[in-house]
């Protein structure tokens, strides 16, 4: 890879996953600007510029002995922090439209996102960052028959937003036993409140939960929640 890079740029993605023995070899190249081909005896000079990326805490890994300290300081000349997608919500819409264009072209389709679907995805917390967003868009393009994509086409975890517990993806937790009828009613009320907090209107909430608008209105009335049409 150093030889192919020549005088260009070599990107070392996920540098935090590099084994210790390979880290030592990389350090020698960075220090001496030379490397050997496998089985070679003549040194080859490298003039490549290095960009390394990681989602790990390398300083902590250095303390734990999982990453070489000398390599860390050799690489950490200029550090650029890229915030996770959940901290830059304004980037979600253009990224969605970008990947929509890419996958429509790839699969020869002409799918479109509804405004409601975009709003739902803007409220999701994206633990997998842009790679997860890209996969969601491709899945929608490939699996959905309809041309106009709505929130109902999404998996439930995207429609319901951020999980209440970071240690579990379960949307429902049972803490005590109550009559089944009461439990069903309680879950329905929670889902309606959650949908309203995301969509802000009864029409969009009904679309998101796959029920009629009158059902949403009835649930809101039962719980004395003000509705927005």
Q: Is residue 164 part of a domain?
A: no
Give every CB contact of residue 224 below 8 A, 6+ residues apart in sequence.
none
**pLDDT score of 181:** 73
Pairwise CA distance, residues 112 & 90, whole Å: 20
Q: Is residue 165 part of a domain?
A: no
What domain range includes position 22? 2-75
For residue 37, give the 3-state DSSP assignment: coil
- The number of helices, as runs of H, and strands, as runs of E, in the chain is 11, 6
The token pair that represents 121 in the structure block: 């995805």
- Given a cut of 90, is residue 71 above it in pLDDT? yes
The pLDDT tens digits of the residues spanning 112-160 come to 999 989 988 998 889 889 999 999 999 999 888 888 998 888 877 776 5
The pLDDT tens digits of the residues spanning 174-199 come to 556 677 777 777 788 888 887 777 76
Strands 34-35 and 44-45 turn out to be antiparallel
Taking alpha carbons only, the member of 162, 161, 107, 99 closest to residue 133 is 99
Last residue of one domain, picked from the residues 29, 55, 75: 75
Pairwise CA distance, residues 130 & 191, whole Å: 27
Q: Is residue 97 part of a domain?
A: yes
How wide is the angle at C-alpha 155 spanned by C-alphas 149 and 160, nearest 5°? 100
Last residue of one domain, picked from the residues 75, 106, 137: 75
Lowest mean pLDDT among 1-10, 13-22, 127-136, 149-158: 149-158
Pairwise CA distance, residues 93 & 177, whole Å: 42
For residue 57, give the 3-state DSSP assignment: coil
User: 186 and 205 in one domain?
Assistant: yes
User: 150 and 187 in one domain?
Assistant: no
Complete DSSP assignment for 148-172 = EE-GGGS-HHHHS-S-S-TT---S-
User: 6 and 70 in one domain?
Assistant: yes
| Arithmetic mean of pLDDT over the chain | 84
Taking alpha carbons only, the member of 54, 57, 55, 10 closest to residue 29 is 10
């Amino acid at each position: 890879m150093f030889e192919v890079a020549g005088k260009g740029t070599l990107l070392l993605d996920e540098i935090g996953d590099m084994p210790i023995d390979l880290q030592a070899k990389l350090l020698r190249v960075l220090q001496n600007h030379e490397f050997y081909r496998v089985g070679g005896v003549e040194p080859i000079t490298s003039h490549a510029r290095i960009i390394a990326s990681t989602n790990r805490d390398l300083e902590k890994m250095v303390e734990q002995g999982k990453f070489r300290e000398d390599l860390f300081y050799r690489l950490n000349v200029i550090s650029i922090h890229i915030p996770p997608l959940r901290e830059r919500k304004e980037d979600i819409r253009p990224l969605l439209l970008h990947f929509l264009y890419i996958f429509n072209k790839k699969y020869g389709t002409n799918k479109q996102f509804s405004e409601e679907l975009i709003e739902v995805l803007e409220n999701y917390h994206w633990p997998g960052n842009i790679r997860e967003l890209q996969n969601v868009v491709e899945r929608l393009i490939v699996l959905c028959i309809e041309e106009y994509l709505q929130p109902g086409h999404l998996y439930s975890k995207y429609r319901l937003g951020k999980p209440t517990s970071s240690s579990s993806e379960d949307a429902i937790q049972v803490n005590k036993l109550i009559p089944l009828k009461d439990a069903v009613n309680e879950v329905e009320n929670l889902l309606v409140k959650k949908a309203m907090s995301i969509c802000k209107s009864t029409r969009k909430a009904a679309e998101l939960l796959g029920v009629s608008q009158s059902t949403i209105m009835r649930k809101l009335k039962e719980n004395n929640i003000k509705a927005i049409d």
